[in-house]
Structure 1
Amino acid sequence: MIRKARLKDARDIHRLIVHFSKTGQVLPRPLAEIYENIREFFVFAPEGKDLIAGACALHICWEDLAEIRSLVVSEEYQGEGVGVNLVKACLEEARDLGVPKVFVLTNAPDFFRKLHFKDIEKTELPHKVWADCVKCPKFPECDEEALILELGQEEF
């Protein structure tokens, strides 16, 4: 089940992000930051399980731009459409909020291309997007790719 995150989910979200940040798949995020931004997150809560097994956040950057970030899915649920459904939940919320464009910085560009995101140069993104980059262990040698989706042009 995909749903909006609740405060009680913050530690599970953090556990997943810590796990996947060790492999460089997502940026590390302190637990306090997850609590502060809990409203941005959607989670995957498997039926009959106590732990959250997936999470994804929609971060609003400006009136016309949002970012999908911290997409994580437990290994046992990968390949089952959980990541796709988490991203779709974020895109639906962006649509509801009236955000016309959503971008992602990722090491898994093919995943997002399947969802109709298009490659762009990182330099095309506004400077305010880079506020989190200085916290990244890879800064300034970023190996992530930038992709963007103009809402209303996709069909999923």
Structure 2
Amino acid sequence: MTVTCRKATEQDVDTLYEIIKGYAEQGIMLPRSKEMLERQIDTFVVAELGEQMVGCGALTRLGQDLVEIRSLGVTDGHKGQGIGKKLVNFLIGEAREQGIPKVMALTYEVAFFERNGFHVVPKEIFPEKVWTDCIHCKKQHCCDEIAVLKRLD
């Protein structure tokens, strides 16, 4: 079977919630409520293997020329099969369609993003991120995530 990526719909909220919850419980992804997912469903994409959702990710606009890949995850049993790469490529395609030249992420999986054309950069170059999300994070003053950036221009 082939993995396909598509934009998420409201029918995907429960499964998105479960995928993200699994990562959040490990402390490697910010939790998202079902209500938040419903409000932001247009920012999410999903990866499917047949009828089964096996991954997700979101593209969130942080400024005129910057978007963030967030909530990127693949279900247990499906990791290491190129699904994350397909999701990232799909999200980068979305950024290109929107004419946004910079895509960033905060991650613990630096090598994965580097294999996908991203480069490590200082977090401080993203004040848009700091003031929209980081200010509410419990790790705000001891963040151990690494910032990565890919320029599309």
TM-score by length of 1: 0.91
Q: What's the CA shift for 1:138?
A: 2.1
User: Could you say which residue in structure 2 is the equivalent of 1:7?
Assistant: 10
Tell me if the contact between 1:65 and 1:102 (Cα under 8 Å) persists in the aligned partners: yes
Q: What's the CA shift for 1:128?
A: 2.4
Equivalent-residue separation in structure 1 for 2:140 and 2:100 (angstroms): 28
Structure 1, unaligned runs of 5 or more: none
Equivalent-residue separation in structure 1 for 2:138 and 2:35 (angstroms): 19
User: Could you say which residue in structure 1 is the equivalent of 2:47?
Assistant: 44
Q: What's the CA shift for 1:40?
A: 0.6
Q: What's the CA shift for 1:90?
A: 0.3
User: Could you say which residue in structure 1 is the equivalent of 2:145?
Assistant: 144
Q: Do residues 128 (structure 1) and 128 (structure 2) align?
A: yes
Which structure shows the higher strand fraction? 2
SS of 1:53's equivalent in the other structure is strand
Output the aligned Cα RMSD: 1.1
User: Could you say which residue in structure 2 is the equivalent of 1:25?
Assistant: 28
Q: Do residues 16 (structure 1) and 19 (structure 2) align?
A: yes
Q: What's the CA shift for 1:134?
A: 3.1
User: Could you say which residue in structure 2 is the equivalent of 1:96?
Assistant: 97
SS of 2:36's equivalent in the other structure is helix
SS of 1:116's equivalent in the other structure is coil
SS of 1:86's equivalent in the other structure is helix
SS of 2:135's equivalent in the other structure is helix
Letter in 1 for 2:75: S
Letter in 2 for 1:62: G
Equivalent-residue separation in structure 2 for 1:71 and 1:129 (angstroms): 17
Aligned positions, number? 149
Tell me if the contact between 1:60 and 1:67 (Cα under 8 Å) persists in the aligned partners: yes
Structure 2, unaligned runs of 5 or more: none
Equivalent-residue separation in structure 2 for 1:83 and 1:137 (angstroms): 26
Q: What's the CA shift for 1:65?
A: 0.4
Equivalent-residue separation in structure 2 for 1:138 and 1:87 (angstroms): 25
